[in-house]
Structure 1
Amino acid sequence: MIRSSFATTVGLFHTHTHGGAQARPLKANTREVTHCPEAWLVKILSTLFVYRVPDSDLCFCYLSKNINPFIAFEVVKKLDNPHIGFRFWEFSRFKLNIRHSFGTYNLLTRSLCKAGLHDLAGKVFECMKSDGVSPNSRLLGFLVSSFAEKGNLRFATALLLQSYEVQGVSTVVNSLLHTLVRLGRVEDAINLFEKHLKFQSCNDTWTFNILIRGLCCVGKAEKALELFAEMSSFACSPDIVTYNTLIKGFCKSNELGKAYDMFSEVKSRVGCSLDVVTYTSMMSGYCKAGNVKEASLLLDEMVDLGIYPNNITFNVLVDGYAKVGEMSCAEVIRGKMESFGCFADVVTYTSLIHGYCRVGQVNKGFSLWEEMNAKGMFPNAFTYSILINALCKENRLLRARDLLRQLACEGVVSKPFLYNPVIDGFCKAGKVNEANVIVAEMEKTKCKPDKITFTILIIGHCMKGRMGEAVSIFHKMVAIGCSPDKITVSSLLSCLLKAGMAKEAYQLNQIAVKCQSNDVAPQETKAVNVTVAAC
């Protein structure tokens, strides 16, 4: 039925257009307007290819005479579906011998990759090359990034090696390196550079900036400095991004001396000026080391130079003073913000709340909480976590419980670290039933208990002598693929043995040994002070 209707449709179309649109080659760099007959043909083809590929001789004969590369591009564009677009491309290329344009190949390969159909995209790209259609650097950059992100680094590298003669090849190189660094595959990025790129002329300053950033992110600032020293041999000069990345990297690894050396080098370098990122990075390093006064002096220095601080700069200082307990200074910095056109945000308030909670002024922290809510600012998970932890330390468990309910209502994504302190508090208070209810509420929000949650529950039930339930929780922990650690196992075994349940202790120990042999070496449970000795 569809075959006959297709033949009838093209026959009517042929009559309507007085002989049909004649196939004609496209002029290079010419953007054509779809004329009425061509527009109808595009519409008909787009509709019919949704249902099936035409296979009658009449259709072949008619389409081979009336489809040109321009119409083929418009069909793929109108279909807006990578599967059907591929089907049409395959039919028109292999059945009708259409030599597709760069526009069609560009559109189709991109849409296939975005749909995760990289095998088909690779097939289309190979045909593109065999048709003599040259890809540009933008398409190649997209493809190498997409294939690398998909996990096919071999194909991405092969594409890169074919790109050296393409104008703008540095774009392709940097796209691939940036993707690898973004995915945390810094070692692969460095190996690619050492093996294939080091002796090519396609490297630029941005190439080095990407690699230096990757190395700094994984704590290898020294290796990044070696790469920095090599830049001149590639006729590349470091820019402010290079220096800022290194300063941030050394601050992250607590090497403030080397960070300051870079900072001083920028000051003396011609054609490279300090900016707000440079100062903020250096201030962050000082604050992290507890030297907030030095960071404050840098704030004054940057203002004197006409470099205006931004919200991030002020938040770094507020957080620095809050962490050392100098809340009056933190409030002074908050007061300065408005004079520079900056306003306290969620990060500012979270740092202040954390500071007040650290010095035991939890009620002051709640005052700031109410202030930020009154201003229409929505607390994030870390804001909730700070207050929940502070309340649990003061044994104000019911208030902490209220905050858990509130975050669920306000749409904050639930995480175990928000629930664990409250569960631990109720277990230590002997209110295990209440702890179980909180866990049920936690799971209702699609937040799965983690290793710490299970450890708290197991020890809590053991402390109450509810050994059967503790064993059940252990089995549930293992069933969902959460491998117990040493604290969990030793605590439970100790309590079972004291309760005269040696057989159960032996069985659970066998399960624990099996879990640990299938997992990485067991990690110690952190962040929650569970009472083990009470067993």
Structure 2
Amino acid sequence: MVEPSKGMSSELRLKMASTAARYASPKFTLLFATSPSSFLRSFPYSLFFHLSLHSHHPPNPNDSLLHMRPPPSILQINMILGSIAKKKLYPTAISIWKRERSRGFKPSLSTLNIVINCYCHMGHLAFAFSILGNILKNGNQPDVITLNTLIKGLCINNKVEEALDFYDHLMAKGFQLDEVSYGTLINGLCKTGQIRAAIKLLQLMKGRVVKPNVVLYNSIIDGLCKVGLVDEARDLCDEMIKGGITPDIVTYSSLIHGLSSKSEWNEAIGLLNEIVLKDINLDIFIFNILIDAFCKEGRIIEAQAIYAMIIKCGQKPDVVTYNSLMDGYCLIKNVDESMEVFSKMVKCGSKPNVVSYSILINGYCKMKRVDVAMNLFKEMRCKSLVPNTITYNSLIDGLCKSGRILYVQDLIHEMRDNGHPPSIVTYNILLDAFCKRQLLDEAIALYRQIDDQGIEPNLCTYSTLIDGLCKGGRLDTAKKIFQNLLINDYRLNVWTYNIMINGLCREGCFDEAINLLSKMKENDSLPDTITYEILIRALLEKGENEKAKTLLHEMVARADKKKVIADVKMHEQMVDRDDQDWKHLRRLVAEATMATTRKSLILHFCTALSVSHLIVEIRMGRFVNFGATCSHSSEIKASWKAMTMKLKMLSKSTAASLLHMRPQPSILQISKVLGSITKKRHYPTTISLWKRAQSCGFTPCSFTLNILINCYCHMGQLAFAFSILGRILKNGNQPDITTLNTLMKGLCINHKVGEALDFYDLLTAKGFQLNQVSYGILINGLCKTGHVRAAIKLLQLMKRHIGKSDVVTYSTVIDGLCKVGLVNEARDLYDEMIKGGITPDIVTYSSLIHGLSSKSEWNEAIGLLNEIVLKDINLDIFIFNILIDAFCKEGRIIEAQAIYAMTIKCGQKPDVVTYNILMDGYCLIKNVDESMEVFSKMVKCGSKPNVVSYSILINGYCKMKRVDVAMNLFKEMRCKSLVPDTITYNSLIDGLCKSGRILYVQDLIHEMRDNGHPPNIVTYNILLNAFCKRQLLDEAIALYKQIDDQGIEPNLCTYSTLIDGLCKGGRLPIAQKIFQNLLINGYCLDARMYTIMINGLCREGCFDEAINLLSKMKEIDCLPYSITYEILIRALLEKGENEKAKTLLHEMNATLDCATLDCATLENRISNGRRGSEYPNGWGYHSGGKSNGRRRKDLEGTWEGASLLNASKV
């Protein structure tokens, strides 16, 4: 045994100063100096673990060998234990060893080495070192395998520093270690990132008996490359070569990996050539390194070239090769090509692993194709592949971003069941989903759960939560979290600072935001252009142009011009354009390259809408009392809800039992019971109970009679209601004002407004004094039936009779005027109301905003909204819904989303109407998938979808010809006990007909009738259109007769559809008969109907009749479309009657002012005798022209018009 240098331990500590801070601990100073027990006490692990060593594995068949006779030798026993240990059945090996030891079996050193190895791999280091203690106690010396096994055990259990301490003591006591010992230590240091210490240990070896070999050099070179120190790795390689050690394939693989990760492709390829020249056998691993590096750089073509080289070199690509290529395609968002690689891998015999599926699932989720990802997830489980944490996180992220957060809970449970507890990445995904959906209470609860489970939140966790809190109006909570991070010296990056600065600016805390910018600079966190942009925008909105200018100067001075992104146009609108400093800054910005575009972090409208002014009003605290009002309102609603629940508990039998109480209840108590039942709209029950009370001898009071009148009115039994009035008068009593108002309201709700006015005349003639409620009922009835002028007159009469009016009455008339489009008159009445000293309420403003929005007078509508804010009137969800609806109907979905965001910010909870409006808006712009996202958001936010919600989606998907999705939604709504209405059925029937599935329609028609929704004229028109398009004319005629037999009135669309179908199907005489009958019966036909008939006549060569029909159109002042003339002119040209065609063309130009038709060119062609087929594209008709474009567009908007346009081009 070679005597080591006595100063070796201190030398190692000096050379490993960066990692040996703990090596000077006195805990090993007495190693081997005293008894082995003292050595065990000095070891840094507790030796008093109470652990059962019973194996949890089934009995090993090798056990039987231990009972052989004669018994097996020690060598055979060691072979048994060794084979079990190689299978990693460490507890089984320990169990067998303990059993044999109890039978007197004496282990050899090899046996003990196997047992030590098992304990080390099981993490039971104390037991491993106790065996070393037993060896020493028995007066034996451990061999190098024993020591190496213990060193390796410390390293694989992440105790590298203790391994170095153990190495020091071994060297100090004269033990001779080998290359494996040093290799184990160096490998452990490299894996823990302590590369410098590994190099020092390598240098230390050179002065010793044991010399470094290629394996040791490879470990350090690989470690250097992994931490990006590629130049040092190359220097070490050169040193190795100078020392006479030849690099192997592992050396080159590590270097190529390092160079590739640094994008030093020439050097990497140079090393690959060097391998070939040195005739070193290339393996698949080195090719995989290059493919992976190219793919990560997005250089998929080069990666494919390396793949081709693998095949050429006779190597077989493995699953890692294919995974690298799949990941590369996913990185460039070509997930379908990634799936192609997956299919190729299967065909080539390579078995996909969990990583393969994880790559595809992640790729599809990022492309928002979650259904495909879910199918892949199911497929991998069917193949007995257990998803890992990355798989679950990818799928959870995809589900959250696609709005399917409800599915995530099951995945979380499955993760835990499969031994993959959620990581901080999982929680960050969920946190982001909650914050984006403004589920802030759930987000905070999740954050606490992370902390409770002992998981360390990272910077992403804090940034996500702070951003969500800021955007959700909880700035104070966000500030507390941010301040705690600063206090605890948490290293924040520019992203987190930007989030906090943006949150402060959103709430108008500009000084705090600027102070935070200063703090960033103090903490050496350099602000980026986004930081400055947030602050500059906020300052400009506040009007502090000088501060904004200073910051912009600072931004340009600090940042690279190419990275400066500034909205110059916005700046010019807000500052003096002649300002020389701004001109200078504008020049600087103009020089910069707009490398990227960024969605603004702050909603900023610079349009005629002036929504920004409203947002400023909100930010300036105009809604300070709004939260209090909402809170009060919610308390009232809660109390009413409690009261309603109590009333619901009052059953009919319970109410009836009150009549038999002793003592008997008073008539007032009975009236209260009847009133509570009536409020629940159980009118027949009220009537029945009263009859029983009457039979028990109860005499009604006026309150009771008014309740009965109200019930009869709501049941539509007006004769019984008025009979009670007759009884009152017969008994010599006078009805009170409530009785009269109830009867008037009964007439109005039963659509008998004329009779209500007659009753009003009778009452006033008899001297009855009516009140504001009476006039309000009549005015409301008139407005609902469209008699707004009469309502205004009654309003004026009301002022003369009772001397005043109230806000309810004015609001009713204003609403009526707005609904019939008389918005200016509504504004005049609004002004009159204010002059009369009556303050408008939220209903008044809602009606006016609705009217103005329907007329697209956005500035006035937003002006009124600002007025509401200034007057501190409580906004409700209804007014937001009006604006959202108006924007959606105009196709201005971005503005609608802005109002939706404002709704949330104002503390209002969007209702089902809000979501339905947004869904319909997206469907109108043919973005039905986004409509589905809104639907999912509605469900998550606790709003229950209704029939209208499903009808909107079904209609949207049907129009996009995605009928299968519509059918699934139809089934889903029935599963949720929602009964489809006529609109739902019509939408689905239309979708089925247009997709050629007309056979499915019959069952839907029967279902409609069964559910109390008989087909209406729209249903029949859809079916008629389907029959005509498929030339099923007999069925179409039979259906038309069925419409008539069922007493349903056909409309213009019905006749147009049928006549067009008959004309195209060669049944012109029948079409003419129907058309003539319509004219004889005085049916008002439009230009579209005439055009259909003219087209039919021209198709059959009846040109004279067609021209006569054109003349008849002009006689009745029905202005022809340009296409009407076009059909006739084409027909005449095909017949060769060019003069008549020319005459009609001039007439068309004169009548319709068709500047888009090149008459001179056409006349020239007609004079040359050219036929209609020689005049392509309507002979000079440019669809982009302005003349009569509206009429052409109107016609193209209908299926009939589209068919005519196609026919006219034949």
Tell me which interval the TM-score lies in, with the shorter structure as reference length: 0.5 to 0.7
1:103-129 CA-partner distances (Å, limit 9, x unpaired): 9998999989976779x99x979x969
1:496 to 1:232, Cα distance in 2 relative to 1, 3 A: closer
| Aligned position for 1:292 | 893
- The answer as to whether partners of 1:109 and 1:124 remain within 8 angstroms in 2 is no
| CA apart distance, 1:482 | 5.3
Q: Does structure 1 residue 346 correspond to structure 2 residue 1017?
A: no
| CA apart distance, 1:319 | 1.6
Give the match's secondary structure for 1:287: helix
The separation in 2 between residues aligned to 1:254 and 1:458, in whole angstroms, is 37
| Aligned position for 2:804 | 202
Q: Does structure 1 residue 263 correspond to structure 2 residue 934?
A: no
Instruction: Tell me which of 732, 740, 746 is aligned to 1:140.
Output: 740
Q: Does structure 1 residue 433 correspond to structure 2 residue 1034?
A: yes
- The answer as to whether partners of 2:772 and 2:806 remain within 8 angstroms in 1 is yes
Root mean square deviation, CA, Å: 4.9
Unaligned runs of 5+ in 2: 1-665, 669-690, 696-700, 1118-1193
After superposition, residues 214-293 of structure 1 pair within 5 angstroms as: 214-270=816-872, 272-293=873-894
| CA apart distance, 1:366 | 2.7
Q: Does structure 1 residue 158 correspond to structure 2 residue 761?
A: yes
| Aligned position for 1:311 | 912
- The answer as to whether partners of 2:818 and 2:847 remain within 8 angstroms in 1 is yes
| CA apart distance, 1:498 | 7.7
Q: Does structure 1 residue 456 correspond to structure 2 residue 456?
A: no
1:478 to 1:274, Cα distance in 2 relative to 1, 3 A: same
| Aligned position for 1:191 | 793
| CA apart distance, 1:228 | 1.7
- The answer as to whether partners of 1:144 and 1:160 remain within 8 angstroms in 2 is no
The separation in 1 between residues aligned to 2:1081 and 2:707, in whole angstroms, is 43
1:134 to 1:280, Cα distance in 2 relative to 1, 3 A: same
Q: Does structure 1 residue 362 correspond to structure 2 residue 963?
A: yes
The separation in 2 between residues aligned to 1:529 and 1:163, in whole angstroms, is 60
The separation in 1 between residues aligned to 2:1067 and 2:867, in whole angstroms, is 65
| CA apart distance, 1:160 | 6.8
Q: Does structure 1 residue 386 correspond to structure 2 residue 977?
A: no
Task: Answer with 1 or 2: which has the greater Rg.
Answer: 2
The separation in 1 between residues aligned to 2:1006 and 2:755, in whole angstroms, is 44
1:415 to 1:104, Cα distance in 2 relative to 1, 3 A: closer
Give the match's secondary structure for 1:317: helix
After superposition, residues 58-97 of structure 1 pair within 5 angstroms as: none
The separation in 2 between residues aligned to 1:258 and 1:448, in whole angstroms, is 42
| CA apart distance, 1:273 | 0.4
- The answer as to whether partners of 1:102 and 1:133 remain within 8 angstroms in 2 is no
| CA apart distance, 1:403 | 4.2
The separation in 1 between residues aligned to 2:901 and 2:828, in whole angstroms, is 33
Give the match's secondary structure for 1:179: helix
1:484 to 1:149, Cα distance in 2 relative to 1, 3 A: same
Q: Does structure 1 residue 529 correspond to structure 2 residue 1200?
A: yes
**Which is further off, 352-361 or 304-313?**
352-361
- The answer as to whether partners of 1:138 and 1:171 remain within 8 angstroms in 2 is no
The separation in 2 between residues aligned to 1:156 and 1:115, in whole angstroms, is 17
The separation in 1 between residues aligned to 2:1082 and 2:894, in whole angstroms, is 48
| Aligned position for 1:465 | 1066
1:187-227 CA-partner distances (Å, limit 9, x unpaired): 10012223552685331111111111111111122221222
Instruction: Tell me which of 961, 975, 985 is aligned to 1:374.
Output: 975
Unaligned runs of 5+ in 1: 1-29, 33-73, 79-100, 518-523
- The answer as to whether partners of 1:140 and 1:163 remain within 8 angstroms in 2 is no
1:160 to 1:302, Cα distance in 2 relative to 1, 3 A: farther
| CA apart distance, 1:330 | 2.3
1:252-274 CA-partner distances (Å, limit 9, x unpaired): 2222222222222212213x201
1:355-397 CA-partner distances (Å, limit 9, x unpaired): 3334443332233223223333232222233333334444544
Give the match's secondary structure for 1:151: helix
- The answer as to whether partners of 2:850 and 2:886 remain within 8 angstroms in 1 is yes
- The answer as to whether partners of 2:709 and 2:742 remain within 8 angstroms in 1 is no
Instruction: Tell me which of 877, 892, 902 is aligned to 1:301.
Output: 902
| Aligned position for 1:149 | 752
Instruction: Tell me which of 774, 782, 791 is aligned to 1:172.
Output: 774
1:482 to 1:418, Cα distance in 2 relative to 1, 3 A: farther
More relative contact order, 1 or 2 (CA 8 Å, 6+ apart): 1
- The answer as to whether partners of 2:814 and 2:848 remain within 8 angstroms in 1 is yes
The separation in 2 between residues aligned to 1:464 and 1:330, in whole angstroms, is 39
**Which is further off, 191-200 or 364-373?**
191-200
**Which is further off, 463-472 or 246-255?**
463-472
**Which is further off, 462-471 or 210-219?**
462-471
The separation in 1 between residues aligned to 2:744 and 2:864, in whole angstroms, is 34
The separation in 2 between residues aligned to 1:112 and 1:381, in whole angstroms, is 28
The separation in 1 between residues aligned to 2:825 and 2:816, in whole angstroms, is 10
The separation in 1 between residues aligned to 2:708 and 2:973, in whole angstroms, is 49
| Aligned position for 1:331 | 932
The separation in 2 between residues aligned to 1:189 and 1:179, in whole angstroms, is 9
1:159 to 1:225, Cα distance in 2 relative to 1, 3 A: farther
Give the match's secondary structure for 2:752: helix
Normalised by the length of structure 2, the TM-score is 0.31
Write the letter of the residue equivalent to 1:529: E
| Aligned position for 2:813 | 211
Q: Does structure 1 residue 182 correspond to structure 2 residue 784?
A: yes
| CA apart distance, 1:345 | 1.9
**Which is further off, 337-346 or 201-210?**
337-346
The separation in 1 between residues aligned to 2:863 and 2:844, in whole angstroms, is 14
The separation in 2 between residues aligned to 1:201 and 1:164, in whole angstroms, is 16
After superposition, residues 19-58 of structure 1 pair within 5 angstroms as: none
| Aligned position for 1:92 | none
**Which is further off, 281-290 or 190-199?**
190-199
| Aligned position for 2:398 | none
The separation in 1 between residues aligned to 2:1062 and 2:889, in whole angstroms, is 40
Give the match's secondary structure for 2:908: coil
Write the letter of the residue equivalent to 1:285: A
The separation in 1 between residues aligned to 2:997 and 2:1059, in whole angstroms, is 23
| CA apart distance, 1:497 | 8.6
Write the letter of the residue equivalent to 2:844: T
The separation in 1 between residues aligned to 2:1052 and 2:1043, in whole angstroms, is 14
The separation in 1 between residues aligned to 2:1033 and 2:1001, in whole angstroms, is 16
1:211 to 1:225, Cα distance in 2 relative to 1, 3 A: same
The separation in 2 between residues aligned to 1:398 and 1:381, in whole angstroms, is 19
| CA apart distance, 1:155 | 3.5
| Aligned position for 1:4 | none
- The answer as to whether partners of 1:303 and 1:309 remain within 8 angstroms in 2 is yes
| Aligned position for 1:27 | none
Give the match's secondary structure for 2:874: coil
Give the match's secondary structure for 1:377: coil
